[in-house]
Structure 1
Amino acid sequence: MTLPDEAALTHDGLRPDGAGRVLVLACGALAREITALIRLNDLDHVDLACLPAILHNRPERIAPALREAILRHRADYETILIGYGDCGTGGDIDRLCAEFGVQRLPGAHCYAFFTGVGSFEAAAEDEITAFYLTDFLARQFDAFVTRPLGLDRHPELREMYFGNYDRLVYLAQTDDPELTRRAEAAASSLGLRFERRFTGFGDLETVLATAAD
């Protein structure tokens, strides 16, 4: 899936007048799920703008990119929802949210809010050796894991990166046999036991509905 680097996606192509309108300013890794929820719930007053998912490889750049996007869009929207967890920013997104009076998604990362933050945190100690994939990462495993870590060129690095993991847990947002096959292949390539859990949209659906209300 090709995403715009940072472009508002509207249902009718018209520029919003601001009043009553909601912008979800999100990580590109959540574009499919947020778009699906907007359509499923007929949220015609909600628009989506995506930042590149590859920013996760440089989390220190996420908050500055969000700041620029908030400043660009805030005059056109009554409400802005930040479609990120903390995402390795060490609280930078929370400080940005406090500065602008906006809300972000709950939890530290997408694994938590897809699972449900409470459930994920309760299981965290028992799953410290689990490596997680979402639908997005199952699709983009090579682009976001294999190549950035150099495993395509230096497979001997696998043990260094993944030697402390014992399983790959695929947190599935959809029932897609092809994505399951890809996730299972990813587990095999890393030498990890495969496990699949269907999460659906998890807390993402609840938070989006609340922000859109």
Structure 2
Amino acid sequence: MTDTFPSDDTLTEGGLPASGNGRVLVIACGALAREILALTRLNGWDHVDLQCLPAILHNHPERITDAVRQAVERHRENYRTIHVAYADCGTGGQLQAACEDMGVTMIAGPHCYSFFEGNEAFSAQAEDEFTAFYLTDFLTRQFDAFVWRPLGLDRHPQLRDSYFGHYEKLVYLAQTDDPALTETARDCAERLGLSFERRATGYGDLATTMARWAQD
């Protein structure tokens, strides 16, 4: 299964367009779609719909704020409440300012690595892990598409030292207990010449944030 999701359709658990007053919409980075759908299934949040923006925006943070703003405006009249499943994600505070301007809430934290581990825990150890490169379940599955090829390492492997020479280890923040995915993450570490650590996080602050949003 590939982690690709439509950029213009609102998804329910069944993947069908939905609308209606009284419903809650979550506008999310496509990299979080699998996890958000899992949480809605687990908790029976049938009133929560999911709108995914292209996950490739992860590589272009300067485009995230405008994309989120357009999505909110496109769907605002059809939903009682809209939330934004992004952290700052490299926008330099611009996304937070836009969300405040639009009257919608977003996930606290600098990026998904932080909120998956838990923002407090991530912040507490950040100083000791400035040489760590992080992967989530999504980025492990999409390592070639989001890391290896965009950086040109498939064509110019000698660039590895330029990009990753200052890193010492790859930390796989695992949302699920998937042995095959763990081996894929381990292989990513070997390809980058880094030591490997797997850290089971589950859904972290995403789960608690979604639970709060579902009650709005």
Pairwise TM-score range, normalised by the shorter structure = over 0.9
Deviations 1:110-156 (A, max 9, x none): 00000000000000000000000000001000000000000000000
1:16 to 15, 19, 22: 19
* Gap regions ≥5 residues in structure 1: none
For 1:15 and 1:169, locate their aligned partners in 2 and report how far apart those are by CA, in whole Å.
Answer: 37
Report the Cα offset of residue 11 of structure 1: 4.2
| Superposition deviation, residue 7 in structure 1 | 1.5
Match of residue 132 from structure 1: 134
Give TM-score scaled by structure 1 length. Answer: 0.97
Unaligned runs of 5+ in 2: none
Mapped contact 1:84–1:105 kept (Cα < 8 A): yes
1:167 and 1:26 mapped to 2: Cα distance? Answer: 29
Tell me, yes or no, if the aligned pair for 1:172 and 1:196 is still in contact at 8 Å: yes
After superposition, the Cα gap between the structure-2 partners of 1:14 and 1:154, relative to the gap in structure 1 and judged at 3 Å, is: closer
Distance of 1:98 and 1:73 partners within structure 2:
17
Pick one of 179, 190, 193 that aligns with 1:191.
193
Specify the alignment match of 1:156 in structure 2: 158
Question: Quick check: 1-10 or 156-165, which moved more?
Answer: 1-10
Q: Deviations over 1:138-186 (max 9, x none)?
A: 1000000000000000000000000000000000000001110110000
In structure 2, how many angstroms separate the alpha carbons of the residues matched to 1:68 and 1:188? 40
3-state SS of the aligned residue for 2:80?
strand
> Alignment RMSD, CA only?
1.0
Aligned residues: 212
CA contact (8 A) 1:135 1:179 kept: yes
The one-letter code sitting in structure 2 at the alignment partner of 1:185 is: D
Distance 1:183 1:111 in 2: 15
Whether the aligned pair in 2 keeps the contact of 1:6 and 1:52 (CA below 8 Å) is no
Provide the TM-score with structure 2 as the length reference.
0.96
Paired position in structure 2 for 1:47? 49
Deviation of 1:10 after TM superposition, in Å, equals: 2.2
Pairing 1:206–2:208 present: yes
Matched, 1:61 2:46: no
